[in-house]
Structure 1
Amino acid sequence: MSDAAAGRQVFRPALGRRVVGALLGSIAFAVLAAVLVPRLFPVTTPRDVRAGLTLVVVLVGVGVIWAVTLWWSNLRVVVTAAAVEVHRPGMRLHAWARDETAFSSSLTKRYVNGIPAGTTRTLVARGPGGTVNVAVPLGREDFTRLMAVVTPLAPPAAPAEPDPAVVGPRVFLPDPAPIAARAMRLGIGAGVGLLVTFGVLVLLATGVWGRDDTELATVGVAVAAVVTVVLAVLTAIMLGRARQVPERIEVAPGMLTVDDRVFPLTAVRAVRLSPPAYPVRRLAITDAAGSTHRWLLGEAHSPRTPQLLPAYPELVAAVAAAGAGTEGVVLYDLR
């Protein structure tokens, strides 16, 4: 969450959620310690000694959990017109002059056995004293707002007469062909798998194969059916992603048109664009009613998989210029 007063903005983690997490962690640790710690002592150890030592372990562990929650990881970032500071309760960790420091961000996604386990969002400050990386415990929305303040994407104010050559109108034509081609290949594979499965089932039903061949064919049918289903699901996913790619984006001063949808930038809550350095690029517009519309404009590509929109950096610059005068509307989407 963030708050602002007299040009001073403070970005801090939501305390309620962290307190709930610490409470649940404390309960889980206390239960595990009560079960496991007494087993570490010889059976000859008096019961009251084991109970006392277990209590000490529980108190120390719970104390560490709450110290980390309320102090160590309870960072807040204070942004003023002149400086950016990082505070921990009772102390200031870092302070940078904004006119001498370049700020950027870094995101690291964590996985456990392939399952997403969270994202570490890091504020990167490059100044006269070197580069400093600070992992800040902010959610995606607050971190995006923080970076929009310290590295604004949109110009702070609109020029008196916007230059049409800079802000538009400009038209961008994303190409979903790379995704559609993958969907076609996967669909062909699913079709071949279906034909193989159907053919083997026909041969099994007519009794052409002997008993030993029938058992082997049954296993083959099962494998072919699973592969066919997987390929069909992947085909559906790719087709869905291809439909997320817009046919046409037009950028004009104060206006953004995506296909047949027109979005006046003075009437929307936010326009979020993935940074050009991101392999997966998205455009998300939150309208005045709070509904968010999303489009896919890029994905990880290689010489064999062309980009959906090679001019994506130009699109970002054009949207930023078109949003002049609507400070805080055009933002980087830091997923």
Structure 2
Amino acid sequence: MGSCNVFATMVGSSRDCENMLNTVNGVMERVSEKVVNNGIHSATRIASNYIGWWETCSTPYLFQWCPQYLFQGCTVMVGWDASDCPYVYNVNRHGVQCKTKSKCCNGFVNGSSRYKVHDYFNDCNIKDQSSNELLVSVIRTLLYASLFDRKSGGDICVFKVNKKEVQRYQQPVLEALCAHYDALASYLHKSMFFLFHTERYQYTHEHDVYVDKIFGEIFPEDYVENVVLKKGQEYTVRLVHFNKPVDEIYEQLRIENLERDVSPHLEAQMEQVGLEQYNKDAVLFGMPTQMLVAGLVNVLHV
């Protein structure tokens, strides 16, 4: 926020959060210098008051809460107070939580991927780290969440907040996976890449439901879910997850489709399968490798 030393990120309903932050920023522009110097504390109190006011005014029935009228957003605020001590606040309709500088790497996790984030951090046993090491760990954690959470994906965006500047890291999921493949490889032994022609199979909610249904029919005992990683110029890239290592599934698909013609520029990297449910159109598939991921980025223009 331009009026005080506060940086904020938001999840959930972006409209709710944006309106709340605009209100906070407007109030901070009119207050005294003393309040601005401690803006990280003042801003969170204003935000919490705004949420309480918003829910009271938005509830259509007196003494009866309606879920669609509750404040659905969540905001994490970062900043320094007048004594140069850094603080992180988590503000939502349930109240305000606060954390300050610590030797341990702990903090707040919000959004649909929060359980995946916790899983990765716990699995890696991440504790004391330097600032740069922690940045790499956060990037890899969000990458893991993007690979396994259907509501995540697209770009990975991380902000490193210093008192005088904010550094932004942003990279598409597939490019990030290529750069950090060694750290994520052990989590992909139950997964395969499938590529669907973008022009033939438009990426819509209805088609996503249909793809999920088809994979469930083809692999009734093994299929778990699929995650769209990128809609490219030629293909929509899906990472399909199973409940067991995919070596046997991959070999079965490969043998069943040995006679199919493979696109020349993909011959060295991917197999091709014709699914009856897709009128035998070419659906490419491949085992996760760093070479394959690099090929998806460079060859397929995704």
* TM-score of the aligned structures, taking structure 1 as reference length: 0.26
Q: Which has the higher contact order (CA 8 A, sep 6+)?
A: 1
